[in-house]
Structure 1
Amino acid sequence: MNTMTINGRVEPLPDDPDALLIDVVRDQLGLTGTKLVCGGGVCGACTVLVDGVPVTSCLMPARAAVGKSVTTVEGIGAPELHPVQKAFMAHDALQCGFCTPGFIVEAAGFCDRWRAAKGTAVPSREEIGAALSGHLCRCGAYDAIYRAVADACAGRFDGDNFASPRIEARDKVTGAAKYTVDVRHDGQLEGVILRSRDAHARIAALDLAPARALSGVIAVSLLSDDRIVRYVGEPIAAVAARDRKTALAALAAIKLTSEPLPAVIGLDAARKDDAPVVFDRASRKKAGNVSEAAGGPAPWKQNVRGPTSVFARRAKRARNWVNEARQANNRLLVEGTFRTGTQQHACLEPHAAVARFDGAELTVHASSQWVVHLKEQIAKRFKLDPARVRVIADHIGGGFGSKAGIGAETIAAVELARAANAPVRVAYDRHEELSVAGYRPAAEVKVALLPSDRGELKALSVTAHADTGAAINSTIAGLARLMYPAEAKDLSDFDVISNLPPGAAFRGPGGPPMAFAVEQAVDEAALRLAVDPIALRKRWDPDPNRQRLYDWALSLDIWRNRTSVQTGRYRRGVGVATGYWFYLWQPKVKVEVAVKGGRIVASTATQDIGTGTRSVLAETVAREFDIEASEVEVRIGDSSLPEGPGSGGSRVTASVLPPTLTAIQKLKAAILDQATRKPAPGSNAPWRELIARSGDIAISETRGEDGKNTAPGIRSPLKDLGLLGVVFGWMMRRNSNIVIGAGVPSSVQVIEVEVDTWLGHVRVLNVHTGLAVGKIAAPQLAHSQACGAIIQGLGYALYEAREVDPLSGEVLTAGMEDYRIPGIADTPEIDVHFDEAGFDHVLGNSVGIGEVATVPTSPAVANAIFNAIGVRLAEIPIRPDRIVAALKGRTAA
């Protein structure tokens, strides 16, 4: 029998010549710290050490490990944590944690080699980047990873005197954290989904019998009774089998006959008058939703839905002024058409669900951003008693908006588990993840901006057409309503529907494409008015949060010392942009804070997708009781707990902190009432001692109405919409369970780039981001969120774009080697400035960070490039070929 030694133990290897090392590690040995993501050796998540050398186990045949010594992340941290693991914990060099084990294995190997050769010398940023260049982190934890590896190599974590701001960090750096794809029940089956190969077709015949007849196939289910498919990859049926290989063979055995229908692919083709219609009037309700909220009514014409112009202000007047300025050749009129590419969520943990029935009880482990909502959706779809449905999400490997509702993976898992009477797991492969799991729609945004003769903003017109695929409800232009008050604004949004998979909400949905267009127009206006771009924003934008951030940005040396006239191959530029998001919170959120067995326990049915929700709750409770966060037990990720918020729209912190703080005060009073020995008047209560002696007490508190829409001197954004704002707010609360509160979380970013004018390559050197998001509940975690949001914004600006075959509708960038996201070497120096004023009306004073920090990144990069080369790039990603072409065009002109 062939064997290998893994983490010090001798283990057998299978005879199967097709078996890969990762299959043995994860499936045979249950060492699930090693993660399968790309399957192509691109992302590094599956890295193990083979005889001390880092290897991607997704490419290595298992038989190549015969006689070798293999070390997984579980072996790195046993019995003592490696200095790299301690450093990752202390620096919060992780977020969702799904990629972390691979980084740990590679970084530990690098650290050991470095220490053996160079002692405690500190490696450079370039040396660390080169060593870890084969690893990807979609959350963007790279800035902290640099610092962690440098400090581990320098010997700063050789001892045990360290602390982590993230309470689940040890589980993530040792591979102990369990994600949905790691769940294994006895008798668990593997489910796969049969998907359409046509962009548009009518299913004429579907014969599932050949699949059912295969040995090892336990269940086959139809996923939809609609005989029309509208995009490549639309789910049709699903199969559950003993293993994935058998399940895939069963899919191939299904006999499917389709009658192709005329299809239309993409934004430009779908807008043509003679384009084939994707949804007729009777089928429009089948369209997906690209927004975090339910949309309002809008007219349809062929494949174009809109305009949605409810956020406009004196739209006709704005149009008239712009037309008059155009006819008069007014040099102050700024006009432009901007295009943004399709950005995939590219979560490293795929969409996955594991369903198990125990009699009438259904338990679903899911990679979900909202366990309570998913439970309700499952119960409704399958006509189950909600009390008998439980959804669990212990850890989630990234979501970014794509995992907020019920998806095909969950539907298939539940259908198959019911049919098979056995647990079933359905997990997307990387092709599915990069094609049918959602995306930020591409868009065409037309802007007209007219300053008055006095330099004030007179009119702003924004018209956006979003490339939403088989979905609706985009809002891009409408988001310009809450920035730069103009005398008149004409804002119109259109959905352009085509035979592509439906888009989905993505971190600040609509915000980045709006900012990319409007913020470049504002910069161009500053140039024509001969005004400092930040000073112009400060003049036009009265928001108090952003006013403070403008003052901060004006004080930066990098801004004061910028230049605009350069020569030579390499040119540096500095750009600025502004962004905002909403202060959102969710009604009915309930938090229980209790003493159980002499320990404080905080419970709510929310989830942690890497943002640090567990730690924010633990830190909040610990601070109030003057104890350590490690002494607080936090229970989340389970729909059976008191109702909690979804992780989307930056609303978790604002939703859970107020009821938590209220419950803490009531619990303190109950503990003191029960105590036999009271603390001395005026002294700090010895809470640790009182808690230890207290009996079990539980206090539940629901998020109150305080500060939801008004506060002294601070208006709700909806107030400016008058009656429309009242109606819109009512719709948001009724349809999406979201409230828009008073105050606007804001961001101002100043970015420095270097442009290679020969090759068109852009290198981002420095990012300075100012954030006005209230009191920072957990500073290190907030810093991590801000950096991650910026790095995703850099990917949006420079690298990321889904490519589609315009004839077949096939997504071509369906692997991580084709769909380019930022790597560690793409990470600039990042400086984060938190302005903690502005939200005193919110109990806890804290609002969300994740969305607002990414909105201004792409226009700040574009404005910096313009500052460097004098050419404005109106399309992202700003690829090298586009820069070279723009420079040639300027030379030719």
Structure 2
Amino acid sequence: MEFEVNGARRTVDVDGDPAAVDVVRDRLGLTGTKLVCAGGVCGACTIQVDGEPRVSCLTPAARLAGRRVTTVEGLSGHPVARAFAAEDALQCGYCTPGFVVDAAAFVERWRALHGTARPGREQIAEALAGHLCRCGAYEGIFRAVAAACAGDHDTAPTGSAPDGAGAAAVPRVEAPEKTDGSARYTTDLHPDGLLEGVIIRSPHAHAHVRSLEAGDLPLVPLLPPDGVVRYIGQPVAAVAGTDRAAARATAARVTVDYEVLPAALDARLARTGEGPPVYEDKASRKRAPGSGETPQLVPARWRGNLRGPSAMSKRPALAVRRIQEARTKYPERVVEGVFTTAAQTHTPLEPHACLAHWADGTLHLQVSTQSVKAVAELAAERFGLPAERVVARAVHVGGGFGCKMGLTTDVVAAAELARLHGAPVRVVLDRDEELTDGGYRPASRIRLAMSVDAAGDLSALAMDADSDGGVSVGGTVAALARFMYGKAPRRLRDFDTVTHRPPGAPFRGPGGPTMCWALEQAVDEMAHRLGQDPIALRRRWDGNPKRHALYDHAAALPLWSGRRGGTGRFRRGVGVAAANWLYLLDPVTEVELAVEDGIVVARCAVQDMGTGSRTVLRRAVADALGLHEARVRAEIGHSDTVHGPTSGGSRTTPSLVPAAADAAARLREALGGSDVAARLAAAHGVRVTGRRPRDHRGFALPFTLGGVAIGRGFTGSVQVAEVEVDTRLGRIRPLRVWSGIAAGRIHEDRLARSQCEGAVVQGIGYALYEERRTDPVTGRVLTDNLEDYRIPGIGDTPEITVHFHQEGFDHVPGGGVGLGEIATLPTAACLANAVHDATGWRPYDMPIRPDRLLEGLGT
């Protein structure tokens, strides 16, 4: 078949009827076109065929014969690509090429009809409705497309760096690579001799594997030591082939002899401790995966399939007594309820992926991970190698949100298969595997009771939270309520209900959005009971001065005092919610600076999954040395350099920036003066290493937890949201969200805003759409594609305004801490309170589906 691709004539063999995406990626090497959903839902594989956008995963390659095809690589230098880079319309960048291809077609149509008039949000959203961005970078995309339509990026910016060192700066260092498709992710790498690995997974929720029969086929077992599989989709073994089809054919020849066992699939039964045991003994319980970052930090007893309680209480007996007395004497002073949340799946658009090969006794890993240093260390331990014999790389990572930390199965399978075959092997999860076994925020059931005294002050709080994370444990939902609203007595108990379903994993503020769903609705209900303004009540109860500043700002918003309620079909409401989060850091973070050919190269074993670590590091060094940023290059994502933090727990920036400043001071001293720029040319080879200094007041604990230190002080967030409720169809449309964030100094404003905007979008998905479902009879995950598991699209995005309060962390070197978690914690509760404000109905169950809303309204 012959056709034109990006202006060049190409001839390819299309025997076997491949999809266009396979030809474009695998045979032509144009890997900017990404395969994500394989169902035409996400838009990441979009190409233009004769100028019209098409999803290449559903387009037969044969349909391209004689046509003119344009991929994102053919749009390099297009005004839309420049706009996306300049307006920071991206985070991890995995979905970005598809957006650019479709947006370029829209801009050209728009300009032909409307000249340089700017389209509105609705017109842009309609044009890009077929695309998904799990990072939630939609606000930047709105700006970029509008700016491109207006002609703001018709001409390339002129170079502004000294000595011709580079073009004008963009908000994100790697943005040009991500917008033109040249950024290479693990899924894009294809070295010579590559084999593709696939994982054989259990079709049973509970079974003992008696044997694996593969004949003479090379096979890697992936079973736990006891040989028991505990959920459908659990890895059993891995095989490899010349391509995925060959590997699947090999997998089909493997015979697994299962002794099928009774399965515990009912979470309600598990809460009683009953049902077939998921973990039969202490040894198997210790191997249980964790749904939090510290899975079994607080000891808890087991009773069958119920683990807990683990408690973080303050004077629990007094709390219970006060609530009981208030129930009897002053029932109007008590708010009680049972709140539930569905499981929320991480859904990074780049799935778990690893490419492994062995060379001269060294294991090399190219891996999509949030913890490149930890992966290398754990792999060395797993394979019995010296630390220097494992090198991990994560140059570009297509999202993670907490599920890509540690030595995941794809890494183990790829490494074992590569050693077995003596060839490079890549293991990439399919989308159904990702949605089944890639991780999720556990579902929950929270029983809450709250009482106030005669003065209207919080007198007691009780919260029992059951986390439903399948075979995983370590839910910390109730525990987080210890840190909000003063020092009133409270009984806080966390339980894990264990079932034969896939494991949960840490997800952006583990336990935080879930806890806020219950607590912040209860506080809102108490404000209504007391006849008080919900912001004013929170401000009175909350002793945190950083959040006081946010409350004051929120109370003055026209949004807060705007029109509410109504009696017609469409009703508007405004809600508020608050949250806090721990300040975490990696206290042994290092940054190495080396002068190479007149450039300062900053190295650190950190990775960038879209949060901007590369940019933060580069600019922190440039600012500290007084250099133009083009004179600094950041090299990250390599485990064989100085220690860097994991991208999780909002600890990357507060770990990196102080270490970079220390390294810059050491380099300045080594160069013997203040004018660093003038000395670089003669300083080739100079190398220094800076370390993250301690905070001025030390840390909150004298020890670290898994290498993580807890700093003094909490970050804070206050959010206000306006929604429109369609009382006939049960639909909720978020209109505006104001997000106030108190996390100290903001080092990169545009990137920080993008983080916070994306956090709000993920919170909207949690509140309104996302619901992981499993078959109650078999335990199979039913929402294993991006049609059945819905994440927010650009049309679901309200206008988002982010306000930063930059005080309160003067004791931290650099003055700023992480904000990735805190920005998403209150969103779902904020929307629920807005729905209540609009309708008078309180949503206790999340997501707030149309059927639930209509039932609650009695329609």
**TM-score with structure 2 setting the length:** 0.97
Matches within 5 A, 1:215-364: 219-224=218-223, 225-282=225-282, 283-294=284-295, 295-309=297-311, 311-328=312-329, 330-364=331-365
**Partner-residue secondary structure (3-state), 1:526:** helix
Deviations 1:703-749 (A, max 9, x none): 22224645xxxxx4xxxxxxxxx5xx63xx1x411111011111000
Please tell me whether the aligned partners of residues 85 and 104 of structure 1 are also in contact (alpha carbons under 8 angstroms): yes
1:223 deviation in Å? 1.5
Please tell me whether the aligned partners of residues 764 and 828 of structure 1 are also in contact (alpha carbons under 8 angstroms): yes
Aligned to 1:657: 657
1:547 deviation in Å? 1.0
Please tell me whether the aligned partners of residues 93 and 398 of structure 2 are also in contact (alpha carbons under 8 angstroms): yes
2:744 is equivalent to residue 774 of structure 1: yes
**Partner-residue secondary structure (3-state), 1:743:** strand
Aligned to 1:841: 811
One-letter code aligned to 1:61: P
Aligned to 1:678: none
Please tell me whether the aligned partners of residues 403 and 505 of structure 2 are also in contact (alpha carbons under 8 angstroms): yes
1:870 deviation in Å? 0.3
1:829 deviation in Å? 0.4
Aligned to 1:29: 28
Stretches of structure 1 lacking an aligned partner (at least 5 in a row): 213-218, 674-684, 711-715, 717-725
Aligned to 2:562: 561
Aligned to 1:713: none
Aligned to 1:119: 115
Residue in structure 2 matching 1:700, options 673, 689, 705: 689
- CA 541–709 in structure 1, closer or farther in 2 if over 3 Å, else same: farther
Aligned to 1:759: 729
Aligned to 2:165: none
Deviations 1:618-648 (A, max 9, x none): 1112222333323210010000110100000
Aligned to 2:187: 181
Residue in structure 2 matching 1:784, options 742, 748, 754: 754
2:451 is equivalent to residue 481 of structure 1: no
1:527 deviation in Å? 0.8
1:266 deviation in Å? 4.4
Aligned to 2:211: 205
**Partner-residue secondary structure (3-state), 2:32:** coil
Deviations 1:295-331 (A, max 9, x none): 231100011110000x200001111111222233521
Please tell me whether the aligned partners of residues 664 and 690 of structure 2 are also in contact (alpha carbons under 8 angstroms): no
1:686 deviation in Å? 4.4
2:586 is equivalent to residue 586 of structure 1: yes
Please tell me whether the aligned partners of residues 708 and 741 of structure 1 are also in contact (alpha carbons under 8 angstroms): no
**Partner-residue secondary structure (3-state), 1:127:** helix
Stretches of structure 2 lacking an aligned partner (at least 5 in a row): 158-167
2:173 is equivalent to residue 167 of structure 1: yes
One-letter code aligned to 2:5: I
> Distance in 1 between the 2:402 and 2:394 partners?
15
1:340 deviation in Å? 0.6
> Distance in 2 between the 1:306 and 1:333 partners?
26
Please tell me whether the aligned partners of residues 516 and 826 of structure 2 are also in contact (alpha carbons under 8 angstroms): yes
Please tell me whether the aligned partners of residues 658 and 844 of structure 1 are also in contact (alpha carbons under 8 angstroms): yes
One-letter code aligned to 1:542: G
1:119 deviation in Å? 1.3
One-letter code aligned to 1:298: A
**Partner-residue secondary structure (3-state), 2:239:** strand
1:692 deviation in Å? 3.1
Aligned to 1:108: 104
**Partner-residue secondary structure (3-state), 2:559:** helix
One-letter code aligned to 2:55: T
Aligned identity (percent) is 49
Matches within 5 A, 1:135-154: 135-154=131-150
Please tell me whether the aligned partners of residues 17 and 61 of structure 1 are also in contact (alpha carbons under 8 angstroms): no
2:85 is equivalent to residue 92 of structure 1: no
1:248 deviation in Å? 0.7
Aligned to 2:162: none
Aligned to 1:680: none
**Partner-residue secondary structure (3-state), 2:672:** helix
Please tell me whether the aligned partners of residues 585 and 655 of structure 2 are also in contact (alpha carbons under 8 angstroms): yes
One-letter code aligned to 1:258: Y
2:858 is equivalent to residue 857 of structure 1: no
Residue in structure 1 matching 2:202, options 196, 210, 225: 196
**Partner-residue secondary structure (3-state), 1:102:** helix
Please tell me whether the aligned partners of residues 273 and 306 of structure 2 are also in contact (alpha carbons under 8 angstroms): no
Aligned to 1:16: 15
**Partner-residue secondary structure (3-state), 1:873:** coil
* Corresponding pairs, count: 846
1:797 deviation in Å? 0.4
**Partner-residue secondary structure (3-state), 1:331:** helix
2:852 is equivalent to residue 882 of structure 1: yes
> Distance in 2 between the 1:770 and 1:672 partners?
43
Deviations 1:822-878 (A, max 9, x none): 000001001100010011111111111110000000000000000000000001110
Please tell me whether the aligned partners of residues 579 and 852 of structure 1 are also in contact (alpha carbons under 8 angstroms): yes
One-letter code aligned to 1:68: R
Please tell me whether the aligned partners of residues 747 and 772 of structure 1 are also in contact (alpha carbons under 8 angstroms): yes
**Partner-residue secondary structure (3-state), 1:736:** coil
Please tell me whether the aligned partners of residues 708 and 740 of structure 1 are also in contact (alpha carbons under 8 angstroms): no
1:13 deviation in Å? 2.2
Deviations 1:778-818 (A, max 9, x none): 00000000000000000000000101001100000000011
**Partner-residue secondary structure (3-state), 2:621:** helix
1:595 deviation in Å? 1.9
> Distance in 2 between the 1:703 and 1:686 partners?
24
> Distance in 2 between the 1:489 and 1:382 partners?
46
2:512 is equivalent to residue 523 of structure 1: no
One-letter code aligned to 2:528: L
- CA 266–704 in structure 1, closer or farther in 2 if over 3 Å, else same: farther
2:410 is equivalent to residue 414 of structure 1: no
Aligned to 1:602: 602
> Distance in 2 between the 1:306 and 1:285 partners?
14
> Distance in 2 between the 1:485 and 1:37 partners?
46
Aligned to 2:161: none
1:509 deviation in Å? 0.2
Deviations 1:456-475 (A, max 9, x none): 11001111000011111110
Please tell me whether the aligned partners of residues 315 and 488 of structure 1 are also in contact (alpha carbons under 8 angstroms): yes
Please tell me whether the aligned partners of residues 602 and 633 of structure 1 are also in contact (alpha carbons under 8 angstroms): yes
**Partner-residue secondary structure (3-state), 1:55:** strand
1:438 deviation in Å? 0.6
Query: Aligned Cα RMSD in Å?
Result: 1.3
Aligned to 1:681: none
> Distance in 2 between the 1:13 and 1:204 partners?
46
Deviates more, 1:778-787 or 1:113-122: 113-122
Deviates more, 1:320-329 or 1:101-110: 320-329
One-letter code aligned to 1:647: S
Please tell me whether the aligned partners of residues 598 and 696 of structure 1 are also in contact (alpha carbons under 8 angstroms): no
Matches within 5 A, 1:713-728: 716=700
Deviations 1:540-585 (A, max 9, x none): 000111111111111111112353x521000000000001111101
> Distance in 2 between the 1:111 and 1:581 partners?
41
Deviations 1:628-672 (A, max 9, x none): 323210010000110100000000111111111112122112223
Aligned to 1:216: none
Please tell me whether the aligned partners of residues 200 and 251 of structure 2 are also in contact (alpha carbons under 8 angstroms): yes
**TM-score with structure 1 setting the length:** 0.93
Deviations 1:657-704 (A, max 9, x none): 11111121221122235xxxxxxxxxxx54433323434321202222
> Distance in 2 between the 1:22 and 1:487 partners?
59
> Distance in 2 between the 1:344 and 1:548 partners?
34
1:208 deviation in Å? 1.3
**Partner-residue secondary structure (3-state), 1:191:** strand
1:273 deviation in Å? 4.8
> Distance in 2 between the 1:24 and 1:752 partners?
46
Please tell me whether the aligned partners of residues 618 and 630 of structure 1 are also in contact (alpha carbons under 8 angstroms): no
